[in-house]
Amino acid sequence: MGIERFFIATVSDGESESGPVKAIDILNYRLSNSIWASYHRSKGFKRLKVDSKLLFYVGGKGENSQSIIAKASIEKIINKFNRSDLGRLVDLKSWFYDYPEIQFELKNIKIFDEPIDFKLNVPFLEIYKSKDQERWWLAIQGGFIEISKNDYIQLTK
């Protein structure tokens, strides 16, 4: 076993023909299908390895926004997204989407009973020791943000 790695994966609101799709709905859909995806341009994805631990942060202003909702580990990384799995990632009948490039099969998925308020944890997180805590959201925008084991523990208490 190599070095343990911990990340925050951010999910944002999406779009559909009938209007916005809530980030929480996108997250729940993907986790129910044990899949996540990325693009080569996404921040932090190159540091992800099999068995990396992910926390899922819901961005935006909707239901459970600005919270950590679930955790999982990466079971498998597929460097070319399998198009036959696209329906596991997005609701093909109604959501707008881009074809992702990297596919992550997930394991040990746990959706928390209560969302974990991220902002309340900011003063206790190592990731913010040298960052602007007033504009805390900037440090976790986009892609995958690597965090310390201590931060992972703090956010999963």
Residues 5-62 have pLDDT tens digits of: 999 999 988 988 888 899 999 999 999 999 999 988 888 888 999 999 999 999 877 7
Q: Which tokens belong to 39?
A: 């693009």
β 35-38/6-11 pair status: unpaired
CB 119 within 8 A of CB 20: no
Strand stretches in the chain, DSSP E: 6-11, 14-16, 19-21, 35-38, 53-58, 67-78, 102-117, 144-147
Query: Can you identify the CATH homologous superfamily of domain 6-155?
Result: ph1033 like domains (3.10.590.10)
pLDDT, tens digit (0-9, with 9 covering 90-100), for 68-121: 999 999 999 999 999 999 999 999 888 888 889 999 999 999 999 999 999 999
The Cα–Cα gap between 110 and 141 comes to: 22
Domain locations along the chain: 6-155
